[in-house]
Structure formats: structure tokens, C-alpha cells
Amino acid sequence: MSGDRLTLGAVAYDPKVVTIWDGFRRWFAAEGLDVDYVLYSNYERQVEELLAGTIDVAWSSPLAWVRAHRLAEAAGGGARALAMRDTDRDLTSIVVAREGSAVEAVHDLKGKVVGAGAVDSPQATLLPLAHLGGLGLTGELTVRRFEVGVGLHGDHVGGERDAARALMAGEVDAACMIDGNHLLFAREGLFPPGATRVVAQTAPYDHCNMTVVDGPGGPQPGREALLGRFCQLLFAMDYGDATVRPLLDLEGLKQWLPGRLDGYAQLEAAVDGSGFYDGAGTVTAEGYRP
């Protein structure tokens, strides 16, 4: 934090990120709040700089949230989820097979090849594979990961799309993806009408949030005032406002909502089960190099 300026971190998973945060920065300035932003190439670096105090708040993936709060708690402090999009709540991941294939139900995946996203994708790898493991399929199938945008925590849809293409080409027997991308791929024509069957679906979970961390001494009063104003303005963004609406559309929401934490338990368990991070937030996933 510098004076009365709030510095936000975001990951540049797509060129539109610059357009989004340039626009939000101007909107905040018009409302009397000085907000600047720093872009990162990967979430691991962003989390580390949030803990170091280089940025005040981070626009975090769900996996980045898990690491941030574990690192903060290991250092004697804590983390908070200030805000999230309306579209970040109650999502699910699914495992999809081709209609007419031998995979008619989840137990038919035994001995089959399942396509997943990148190693660090919560929605297309960690969550759906943990779900399949909970159904007794650990060691019973072969996982083929499509390592697109490693370090972006699945924000880059490329791995899911490549897994979907492999499914339609008959290169894998099933593919993991978030439910919204299943619909997207149908709209794009990648999945013709009636071409796929959902054979497994996770429980609902939450996605991104605005994360802050506090040291052992708790929140800093000066920063808290800025964060309070930041949240007040986020929640006041009106989808009917012609100035802000295009930015909200680019960021994929209609309304900012208060952050909540009960939607991350499933991912916490998947992280522990896969050994992606340890309990203190250290990266322990074998071969993971963002």
C-alpha cells in the first residue's frame, strides 16, 4: 500500500484483463478511490507477493485462495475473502462421455482414458478427479492431462477445450470440464446436439474471490479504510450503468457479492488428496513449474 492508493494484483490469463482493470481503475478514480493494479504471469507469484505486502488485495483463483490462506495462517496471520462475483457461487464440474460410446455410467470408466485440463486447474483436474477417486476409481483409469496455461489455475479454457476435442476425436473416453464450459462448447459447435452424456458431477463449489491477508497483528487500520471503501464501491457497481456494464460483461458477472468460505471445502480436500500444496501452503505437486 502506498499512501491512499490501493494496489490490486490480477493474473493476465487473457489480453482482456488489461481492458477490464484499466476500465475499473478509471471507474474507481471517478468515485474518489485511487486503485492501481499489477499483472502477474501466474498465480503462484501473485500469492507470494500478496503475502509479501507488494499488493493489498489479490483477484484470486480458488486454488490461489487455498494457498494464500494456508501461507498466511502458517505465518501466524490469516486471510479473508472480501468479495466474489455472482457467477463464482455454486458451480460444478462434470465428466462427459460420447453419446453412444461404451461409457454409459461412471463405473464404465474403469480401465478407460479420461482427459483433464492442466495440472493446476481446479475445475477440470483437481475437483473432478478427486470426485472420481471418491467413487472408487483411483488407480482404475488413465488420466491424460492437457497442459495449457500452466500457472493460470484453469482460467485459460484451452486445456478443457483440448480435452473436449480429444473426446470428440475418440482419443479419450471421457473429459473433465466445468459445467459452464460444457454449454460453451455446445454453443461453439464443438459438441454437436446430443453428442455427449454427463456421467459424473461434483458437488457445488465456489470459484474466484478478492483476497486479503493479515499479519499476526491483525488488520492494519489505514489499509482497512481503503479496503472498506473498495468493497463498498464493488458492491455498488450497477449492471444498468452503461459505463461499467461492458467491464462487468468482460469479467463475467452482473453483481459483486460478499466473499464466503464454505464453498472451498471440496477443493481443500482435493488439494490435500493430490498433494498439490502442503498444509502450510508450500507447492508440493511433483513437476509443477508455473
Same fold for the domain at 5-88+206-274 and the one at 93-201?
Answer: yes
Q: Which three cell numbers stand for residue 5?
A: 492508493
Q: What is the pLDDT of residue 26?
A: 97
Distance CA(55)–CA(126), nearest Å, equals 28
Distance CA(33)–CA(138), nearest Å, equals 50
Question: Taking the model in full, what pTM does it have?
Answer: 0.94
The CATH superfamily label for domain 93-201 reads Periplasmic binding protein-like II (3.40.190.10)
What pLDDT digit, counting tens, does each position of 62-106 carry? 999 999 999 999 999 999 999 999 999 999 999 999 999 999 999
Which of 68-72, 86-90, 153-157, 186-190 is the least confident region? Answer: 153-157
Mutual orientation of helices 265-274 and 62-74 as an angle, nearest 10°?
80
Q: What is the pLDDT of residue 1?
A: 44
Q: Coil, strand or helix: which one is 27?
A: helix
**Domain at 5-88+206-274: CATH code:** 3.40.190.10
What pLDDT digit, counting tens, does each position of 30-44 carry? 999 999 999 999 999
Q: Tell me the pLDDT band of 219, cut-offs 50, 70 and 90.
A: confident
What share of the chain has pLDDT > 90, as a percent? Answer: 92
Distance CA(262)–CA(198), nearest Å, equals 26
Query: Where do the domains of the chain lie?
Result: 5-88+206-274, 93-201
